[in-house]
């Protein structure tokens, strides 16, 4: 998003009191009485804020003034650092730009930006990319989310604990008031994201998000969507880049007058999911480079590659011996395929647990069940190799002696072991980096 897309960046000094005096007369304003545009280079410079809250708007002349007054009052009272409220108008055709300009005149901490193209994502991307704040955030103009969640939202970003923070209407502890249609659509959409993109965040579309400005600078160039899918694309890229996404349960009350077309938005989101999946599979987005630039490298606790191979081989030998003994024990009462399945299943669980602890240096209960589930997927590949070899042997040599059968299985098991090592190293126990070190500096001086 280039600077040419921003028509007006207006900031005029004025009193910092709570309410507008005189009040904004929206009945008297219309699109023909908008103030003349001011080039962004003539904007008045202000002290750098810690937080820049963007309120994207399109034809919101009815609610804009009241919402911004309420937000400004809350931040003035409850937020301990310098802040800015940026009204991002994307191609409104009513009096919204004039109201935004008047709000900017009355509040020192309010600015207004005018874009001549629609799109919430476009508005957020443009303003966030140009912001000089340490942390950038946004919330919907209807303020459906309880503002008391704002400080818990941005605190982990200011401290450096997390990279991105989102409000979640689906997290435990949240309280949501909305109709059943929106509830079902929201939950289905997030289930689709979990099934297709394997995301871990619980609520992609809640209009209450924040991120560190250095994270925004890294992620925004790779986000293509300019509409409602912008949020999802941002969060998926953050997760795939190994960034820490902090979730805050929120109290949220649906706006019954919302103009969002649910069906059209859902359709566009599904197209976005398909596109983003292709981009991630093709490697178009350099998530590893983003992670390397943003995430502090922890003290290395994993063994070297050679150490991993050695430990995996030792565990593999023990697992193979256990597999052979168990197979021979079970073979007297089960078919070859049945004995193979049971023996491989039992040893696969033990193999995953041992490799998790000793080969890849993963300790503690975190992600343990996910590791075992993914380990079972890798096990299924090994099962296909060993079962396929048995099938081929019995197909072409049905009278082969038990010794030949065992030799074929051991050979197939060796091949499955190689596949298993690669699967565990590249997928199941891919290197997870720790939380970043704090990057927000001199906060005390900015209070």
What proportion of the chain, given as a percentage, has pLDDT over 90? 34
Local confidence band at 257 (pLDDT 50, 70, 90 cut-offs): low
51 pairs with which residues across the strands?
83, 135
Which of the pair, 202 or 58, is modelled with greater confidence? 58
The single residue of 94, 203, 231, 269 carrying the catalytic annotation is 231
- Cα(179)–Cα(257) distance, integer angstroms: 12
- Cα(414)–Cα(404) distance, integer angstroms: 15
Model confidence at 64: pLDDT above 60: yes
Whether 39 is catalytic: no
Lowest mean pLDDT, pick from 58-67, 73-82, 93-102, 325-334: 325-334
**Which pLDDT score is estimated for 129?**
95
Average pLDDT over residues 367-374: 79
Average pLDDT over residues 385-390: 81
Model confidence at 1: pLDDT above 50: no
Its pTM surpasses 0.75:
no
Contact 8, 40 (CB under 8 A): yes
**Which pLDDT score is estimated for 370?**
80
9 pairs with which residues across the strands?
113
Quote the tokens at residue 282. Answer: 């093709």
Q: Where are the beta strands (DSSP E) in 241-353?
A: 245-249, 251-253
> Looking at the domain that runs over 3-294, which CATH code has it been given?
3.90.550.10
Quote the tokens at residue 399. Answer: 């009278």
- Cα(171)–Cα(173) distance, integer angstroms: 6
- Residue spans of the domains in the chain: they are 3-294, 305-428
Closest CA to 315 of 256, 263, 357: 357
**Which pLDDT score is estimated for 263?**
65
Quote the tokens at residue 417. Answer: 């072991």
Compute the half-sphere exposure of residue 236: CA atoms within 13 Å on the CB side of its CA: 30
Q: Which of 162-171, 186-195, 274-283 has the highest mean pLDDT?
A: 162-171
**Which pLDDT score is estimated for 14?**
35
Q: Could you tell me the end-to-end alpha-carbon distance of the chain, in angstroms, rounded to an integer? A: 31
Local confidence band at 437 (pLDDT 50, 70, 90 cut-offs): very low
Local confidence band at 18 (pLDDT 50, 70, 90 cut-offs): very low
The CA-atom distances, in angstroms, between 289 and each of 135, 285, 297, 440 are 22, 9, 13, 22
Neighbours of 280 (CB within 10 A): 15
Closest CA to 51 of 12, 79, 78: 79
CA 202, chain centre distance (Å): 9
């Amino acid at each position: 998003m280039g600077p040419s897309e921003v028509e007006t960046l207006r900031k005029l000094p004025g009193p910092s009191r709570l309410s507008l005096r005189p009040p904004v007369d929206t009945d008297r304003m219309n699109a023909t009485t908008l103030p003349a545009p001011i080039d962004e280079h003539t904007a008045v410079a202000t002290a750098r804020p810690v937080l820049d809250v963007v309120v994207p708007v399109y034809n919101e002349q009815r609610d804009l003034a009241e919402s911004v007054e309420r937000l400004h009052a809350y931040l003035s009272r409850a937020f301990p650092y310098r802040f800015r409220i940026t009204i991002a108008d994307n191609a409104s055709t009513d009096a919204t730009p004039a109201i935004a300009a008047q709000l900017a005149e009355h509040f020192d901490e309010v600015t207004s930006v005018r874009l001549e193209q629609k799109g919430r994502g476009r508005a957020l991307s443009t303003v966030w990319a140009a912001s000089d704040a340490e942390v950038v955030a946004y919330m919907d103009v209807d303020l459906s989310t309880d503002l008391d969640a704002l400080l818990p939202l941005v605190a982990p970003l200011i401290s450096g604990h997390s990279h991105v923070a989102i409000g979640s209407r689906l997290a435990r502890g949240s309280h949501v008031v909305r109709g059943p249609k929106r509830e079902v659509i929201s939950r289905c959409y997030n289930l689709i994201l979990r099934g297709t993109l394997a995301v871990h965040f619980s609520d992609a579309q809640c209009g209450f998000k924040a991120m560190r400005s250095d994270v925004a600078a890294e992620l925004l160039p790779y986000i293509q969507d300019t509409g409602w899918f912008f949020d999802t694309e941002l969060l998926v890229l953050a997760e795939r880049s190994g960034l820490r996404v902090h979730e805050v349960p929120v109290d949220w009350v649906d706006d019954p007058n919302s103009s969002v077309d649910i069906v059209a938005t859902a359709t566009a989101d599904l197209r976005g999911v398909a596109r983003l999946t292709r981009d991630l599979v093709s490697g178009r987005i350099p998530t590893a480079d983003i992670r390397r630039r943003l995430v502090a490298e922890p003290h290395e606790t994993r063994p070297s590659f050679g150490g991993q191979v050695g430990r995996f081989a030792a565990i593999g030998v023990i697992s193979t011996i256990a597999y052979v003994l168990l197979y021979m024990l079970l073979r007297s009462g089960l078919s070859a395929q049945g004995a193979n399945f049971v023996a491989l299943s039992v040893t696969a669980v033990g193999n995953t647990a041992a490799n998790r602890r000793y080969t890849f240096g993963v300790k503690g209960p975190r992600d343990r069940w996910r590791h075992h589930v993914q380990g079972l997927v890798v096990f299924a590949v090994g099962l296909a190799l060993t079962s396929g070899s048995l099938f081929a042997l019995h197909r072409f040599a049905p009278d082969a002696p038990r010794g030949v059968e065992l030799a074929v299985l051991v050979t197939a098991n060796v091949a499955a072991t190689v596949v298993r090592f690669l699967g565990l190293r590249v997928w199941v126990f891919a290197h997870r980096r720790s939380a970043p070190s704090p990057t927000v500096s001199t906060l005390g001086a900015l209070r």
